[in-house]
């Protein structure tokens, strides 16, 4: 099935293997804290995710207790507004708004009564208004939305990939020349072998 811009297929999804268990604090030994960078990952109030690296080896004393709470750490995150902007959702919404105003569709939709009612007469009025405007609405949105929906899909795929890169390696957001210079100035690079271990809260 296609709308002129994208094609959809129906496949049978095979049953995958059971997911591996997540790491917990009990799975870590004190030596692990000296060799790994442990990231705490959690969604924020206005962020898709916030990742914090608070496991600098200088923090932990001989018994694993916090010895230096002022040791530097790194924060990586992506806000919801940043995600919408990078994926192109805001640009798509603006194009829809401009197109609906230019074609007068906004006046048609604003004249349609709300379907949120328990009154049969008001519900009948809503259905009559929709049917009266059906041709104009389907013609307009049928020509406009398929392309924008496909662009949104591409933007979401690219932004999801970039979000994974930000979490694992910093991505372009945290590896720009200015960011590298700032990191070099504020944080002494460790010579130890570094691994990534993500703990989900």
C-alpha 124 chain-centroid distance: 40
- Over residues 87-112, the mean pLDDT reads 94
Count CB atoms within 10 A of the CB of residue 64.
Answer: 13
Residue 143 main-chain phi, psi, to 5 deg: -85, -30
pLDDT (tens digit per residue) in 135-188: 999 999 988 989 899 999 999 999 999 999 998 888 888 887 765 566 555 554
Q: Which residues of 79-104 are buried (b: 16+ CB within 10 A; e: fewer)?
A: eeebbbebbbbeebeeebeebbeeee
Q: Which residue do the tokens 């296609």 mark? A: 2
The reported pLDDT for the residue numbered 171 is: 87
Residue 96's pLDDT band, with cuts at 50, 70 and 90, is very high
Mean pLDDT of the chain: 80
Query: What distance in Å separates the CA atoms of residue 55 and residue 46, rounded to the nearest whole number?
Result: 25
pTM of the model: 0.65
Tell me which residue of 139, 142, 130, 178 sits closest to 4, measured CA to CA. 142
Which candidate, 1, 20, 17, 18, places its Cα nearest to that of 9?
Answer: 1
Checking if the pLDDT of 65 tops 60, the result is no
């Amino acid at each position: 099935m296609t709308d002129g811009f994208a094609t959809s297929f129906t496949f049978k999804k095979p049953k995958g293997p059971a997911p591996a268990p997540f790491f917990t604090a009990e799975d870590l030994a004190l030596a692990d804290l000296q060799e790994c960078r442990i990231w705490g990952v959690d969604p924020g109030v206005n962020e898709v995710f916030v990742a914090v690296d608070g496991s600098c080896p200088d923090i932990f004393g001989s018994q694993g207790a916090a010895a230096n709470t002022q040791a530097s750490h790194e924060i990586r995150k992506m806000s919801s507004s940043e995600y919408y902007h990078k994926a192109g959702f805001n640009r798509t919404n603006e194009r829809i708004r401009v197109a609906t105003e230019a074609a007068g569709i906004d006046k048609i939709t604003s004249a349609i009564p709300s379907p949120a009612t328990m009154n049969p007469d008001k519900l009948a009025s809503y259905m009559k208004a929709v049917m009266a405007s059906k041709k104009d609405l389907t013609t307009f949105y049928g020509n406009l939305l398929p392309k924008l929906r496909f662009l949104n899909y591409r933007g979401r795929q690219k932004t999801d990939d970039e979000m994974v890169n930000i979490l694992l390696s910093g991505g372009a957001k945290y590896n720009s020349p200015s960011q590298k210079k700032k990191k070099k100035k504020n944080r002494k690079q460790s010579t130890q072998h570094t691994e990534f271990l993500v703990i989900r809260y």
